């Protein structure tokens, strides 16, 4: 998963892009980058591995002069984790195009072959974002226009849609011309646009999440439609066009469960409110299955489950307590490459307040269970702290299948629920009782915010994928996502 932002304004945009990236940091901590274009049609960039605050120093910011620009925070889902994968990615023809991408292409290998053999483009990495950039560049370059208008640009996006399968929210700078945004035909990854009145023109921001608009003085205009492209030329004129023949709105439901900030709205649905409804539905399920439950206290596993857990406690009429204190300065444990490090890291990241556990029946709430590392360790900690019984609730249903659309999920075989029954998972994590949200309740919790949405991307729960899959794709992905293979890849990269 990644975070992307683009700003086109009257004045220099780098400082605001930097602030935006800080507000999107939760979407990726592996690498960060910014590219901006200035009035002399010069493209200036800085990207590197690490957190936003580590990548950009004063001396870098001073060189990032330009009034339209894009930024990226990276969280690797496809390709490796080295610095060559940091974005924006750049291609010098036509015009010089810099691009950032959130999502994952499912046919990037096939497209990579087409680019190399038929279109004579050399790719430097196995990143699907580099493939996407080159496909778009090829389709734009083919039109052989010295001064591309929005029509040429939209035509290139339409061709890109035809060729690329998967999920992509994209921002690109076309050097000397303007800034482009487009969203895949299913609208799987989020993207929205905001506006701010300037002295001589309107300023625009386009980003994965809208939580950053108000702090930066922007007002949300709307979500970018699935399949739509928006182009803001260098003078600040905005153009938009639907570039897909068959757009469908199918947002990724996991954005609401885990990824997005609670203060964001995606496709008009408040993430915060949908999490509250997840809590309400869980409470309803508990009351139905165990009307005479003996839960003494509800405790969230911070941070993403806090909203759902609080509402669950209110609806159950049971005290809500903070039983864990999170060290905010440690990266997300999931990102720790290997299982042993993950286990140790959970303990370092979350400290326990024994007094909330001693002699009590506790209901721990997390947003989801993936490998089961966090839940197992946390249940062990709760027991050590003196809990009588430890119940565990997940605000999402059982995750059984790998994600193909930009969320870094482990190989299917490493998902705790992939080949275990409900009771087996409960026993493996050592919970006295385990309760998962049903898929129907999860969908209802989210859809209530925008009943016009008919479908959500829910494949990690169902194994049903919306986009065409090329032969052996799932098998190859399964192998590449195994811890063992990741370890070998990283060792090889370190030697280079």
Catalytic residue numbers? 2
**193 counts as binding ligand AMP under rule CB under 6 A:** no
Which of 6, 372, 397, 449 is close enough to bind ligand AMP by CB under 6 A?
372
Residue identified by tokens 């790998």 is 402
**280 counts as binding ligand AMP under rule CB under 6 A:** no
Q: What's the min distance (Å) between Cβ of 428 and ligand AMP?
A: 11
Binding mask 241-270 for ligand AMP (x = CB under 6 A): -----------------x------------
- Say if CB 316 and CB 298 are below 8 A apart: yes
Q: What's the min distance (Å) between Cβ of 77 and ligand AMP?
A: 9
- Judged by beta carbon, residue 1 or residue 55, the one nearer ligand AMP is 1
- Judged by beta carbon, residue 45 or residue 304, the one nearer ligand AMP is 304
- Judged by beta carbon, residue 43 or residue 369, the one nearer ligand AMP is 369
> What would the DSSP string read from start to end of 73-129?
EE--SSS-SSGGG-SSEEE-SSS-EEEEEEEEESSHHHHHHHHHHTS----SSS-HH
CA–CA separation, 429 vs 493, rounded Å? 34
- Judged by beta carbon, residue 237 or residue 419, the one nearer ligand AMP is 419
Q: What's the min distance (Å) between Cβ of 208 and ligand AMP?
A: 15
SS3 314: helix
CA–CA separation, 112 vs 117, rounded Å? 9
Tokens found for residue 85: 């994968």
**369 counts as binding ligand AMP under rule CB under 6 A:** yes
Residue identified by tokens 């939760």 is 26
Binding mask 287-326 for ligand AMP (x = CB under 6 A): --------------x--x----------------------
**Interior angle at CA 494, CA 488 and CA 496, nearest 5:** 110
Q: What's the min distance (Å) between Cβ of 114 and ligand AMP?
A: 30
- Select the span of 119-127, 401-409, 440-448, 455-463 touching ligand AMP (CB under 6 A): 401-409
**367 counts as binding ligand AMP under rule CB under 6 A:** yes
Subset of residues 138 to 157 that bind ligand AMP, contact rule: CB under 6 A: none
Which of 371, 447, 481, 486 is close enough to bind ligand AMP by CB under 6 A?
371
Subset of residues 120 to 139 that bind ligand AMP, contact rule: CB under 6 A: none
Which of 297, 370, 385, 393 is close enough to bind ligand AMP by CB under 6 A?
370
Which of 35, 108, 207, 368 is close enough to bind ligand AMP by CB under 6 A?
368
CA–CA separation, 310 vs 317, rounded Å? 10
Which of 373, 445, 458, 459 is close enough to bind ligand AMP by CB under 6 A?
373
Residues 6 or more apart in contact with residue 62 via CB below 8 angstroms = none
- Judged by beta carbon, residue 25 or residue 44, the one nearer ligand AMP is 25
- Judged by beta carbon, residue 45 or residue 333, the one nearer ligand AMP is 333
Residue identified by tokens 């992939």 is 418
CA–CA separation, 243 vs 182, rounded Å? 9
Secondary element (H or E) of residue 287: helix 271-289
CA–CA separation, 222 vs 267, rounded Å? 8
**Nearest Cα residue to 486 out of 414, 428, 416:** 414
- Judged by beta carbon, residue 157 or residue 336, the one nearer ligand AMP is 336
- Say if CB 407 and CB 252 are below 8 A apart: yes
- Select the span of 126-134, 187-195, 286-294, 368-376 touching ligand AMP (CB under 6 A): 368-376
Alpha carbon distances (Å) from 316 to 139, 276, 281, 295, 495 = 56, 13, 11, 9, 55
**Interior angle at CA 251, CA 249 and CA 253, nearest 5:** 145
CA–CA separation, 154 vs 149, rounded Å? 9
**26 counts as binding ligand AMP under rule CB under 6 A:** no
Q: What's the min distance (Å) between Cβ of 55 and ligand AMP?
A: 21
Alpha carbon distances (Å) from 190 to 181, 335, 397, 441 = 12, 22, 22, 22
- Judged by beta carbon, residue 98 or residue 368, the one nearer ligand AMP is 368
CB neighbourhood size of 11 (10 A): 10
Q: Report how many residues bind ligand AMP under the rule CB under 6 A.
A: 18
- Judged by beta carbon, residue 299 or residue 407, the one nearer ligand AMP is 407
Bridge partners, residue 33, by sequence? 47, 72
Kindly give the pairing relationship between strand 228-233 and strand 238-242: antiparallel
Which of 229, 407, 443, 477 is close enough to bind ligand AMP by CB under 6 A?
407
- Judged by beta carbon, residue 239 or residue 334, the one nearer ligand AMP is 334
Q: What's the min distance (Å) between Cβ of 102 and ligand AMP?
A: 13
Q: What's the min distance (Å) between Cβ of 83 and ligand AMP?
A: 21
**408 counts as binding ligand AMP under rule CB under 6 A:** yes
Q: What's the min distance (Å) between Cβ of 108 and ligand AMP?
A: 20
CA–CA separation, 164 vs 57, rounded Å? 36
User: For 73, how many CA atoms within 13 A lie in the half-sphere containing its CB?
Assistant: 25
**366 counts as binding ligand AMP under rule CB under 6 A:** yes
Q: Which chain residues interact with ligand AMP by CB under 6 A?
A: 258, 301, 304, 332, 334, 366-375, 407-409
């Amino acid at each position: 998963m990644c975070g992307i932002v683009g700003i086109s304004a009257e004045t220099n945009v780098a400082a605001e892009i930097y602030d935006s990236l800080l507000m999107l940091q939760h979407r990726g901590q592996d690498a960060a980058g910014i590219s901006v274009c200035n009035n002399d049609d010069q493209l200036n960039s800085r990207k590197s591995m690490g957190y936003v605050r580590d990548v950009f120093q004063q001396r870098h910011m001073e060189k990032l002069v330009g009034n339209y620009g894009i930024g990226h925070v990276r969280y690797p889902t496809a390709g490796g984790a080295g610095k060559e994968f940091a974005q924006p990615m750049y291609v010098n023809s036509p015009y010089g195009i810099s691009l950032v991408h959130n999502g994952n292409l499912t046919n990037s290998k096939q497209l990579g072959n087409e680019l190399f053999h038929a279109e004579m483009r050399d790719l430097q990495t196995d990143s699907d974002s580099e493939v996407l950039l080159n496909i778009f560049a090829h389709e734009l370059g083919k039109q052989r226009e010295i001064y591309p208008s929005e029509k040429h640009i939209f035509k290139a996006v339409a061709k890109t849609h035809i060729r690329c399968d998967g999920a992509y929210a994209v921002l690109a700078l076309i050097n000397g011309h303007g800034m482009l945004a487009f969203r895949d035909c299913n609208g799987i990854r989020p993207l929205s646009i905001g506006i701010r009145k300037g002295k001589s023109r309107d300023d625009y921001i386009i980003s994965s999440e809208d939580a950053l608009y108000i702090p930066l003085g922007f007002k949300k205009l709307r979500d970018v439609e699935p399949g739509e492209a928006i182009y803001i030329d260098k003078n600040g004129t905005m153009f938009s066009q639907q570039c897909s023949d068959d757009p469908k709105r199918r947002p990724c439901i996991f954005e609401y469960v885990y990824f997005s900030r609670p203060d964001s709205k995606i496709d008009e649905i408040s993430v915060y409110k949908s999490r509250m409804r997840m809590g309400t539905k869980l409470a309803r399920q508990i009351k139905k299955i165990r009307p005479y439950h003996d839960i003494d206290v509800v405790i969230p596993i911070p941070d993403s489950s806090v909203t759902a857990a609080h509402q669950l406690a209110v609806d159950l009429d049971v005290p809500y307590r903070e039983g864990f204190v999170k060290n905010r300065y440690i990266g997300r444990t999931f990102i720790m490459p290997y299982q042993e490090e993950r286990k140790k890291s959970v303990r370092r990241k979350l400290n326990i307040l024994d007094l909330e556990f001693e002699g009590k029946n506790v209901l721990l709430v997390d947003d989801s269970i993936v490998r089961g590392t966090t839940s197992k360790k946390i249940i062990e900690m709760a027991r050590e702290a003196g809990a009588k019984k430890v119940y565990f609730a997940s605000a999402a249903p059982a995750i059984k299948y790998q994600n193909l659309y930009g969320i870094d999920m482990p190989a299917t075989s490493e998902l705790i629920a992939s080949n275990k029954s409900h009771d087996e998972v409960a026993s493996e994590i050592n919970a006295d009782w385990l309760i998962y949200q049903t898929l129907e309740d999860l969908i209802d919790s989210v859809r209530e915010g925008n009943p016009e949405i008919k479908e959500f991307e829910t494949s990690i729960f169902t194994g049903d994928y919306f986009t065409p899959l090329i032969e052996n794709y799932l098998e190859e992905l399964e192998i590449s996502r195994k811890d063992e293979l990741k370890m070998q890849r990283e060792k090889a990269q370190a030697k280079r």
